[in-house]
Amino acid sequence: MISHMTFIVHDLIKASLFFETIFDAKEVYNSGMDTFSVAQEKFFLINNELWIAIMQGESLPTKTYNHIAFKIEESEYDRYLERIKAIKLEIKPGRSRVVGEARSLYFYDFDNHLFELHTGTLEERLECYQQLG
């Protein structure tokens, strides 16, 4: 069970905009000028259950394919695409897919973290691969 995820970000305000706009995250803590941990930080909840922490620091120096994926419904795909475009995030072309593998949106936040929004499940993907193999 995951407790929380922490992202190091250059600008807490821009990172807040990212999580609030894309994931409807609700800010539940702001350290302000205090540093109880290793840097100024903010905490968010996504869907009132997933704890996201952002801490001020240096952005990732490069973009990679390391990413975290969030499950979305197929019917929400276009709505999320519009949110990503609204704050001018870089959308990464998706990898090639086999039929039945569902759809994904890949995009970078303001600090080079790669996120994926995926419409499928592990079970669906394994079933798809088994049928093809």
Residue 41 among the catalytic residues = yes
Residue with tokens 């669906």: 124
Q: What's the half-sphere exposure (Cβ side, CA atoms, 13 Å) at 62? A: 3
Among candidate residues 20, 27, 41, 123, the one labeled active-site is 41
Q: Which two tokens stand for residue 9?
A: 């970000």
Q: d(Cα 2, Cα 128) in Å, to the nearest integer?
A: 27
Decide: 75 and 24 in contact? Cβ < 8 Å. Answer: no
- Active-site residues, by number, are 41
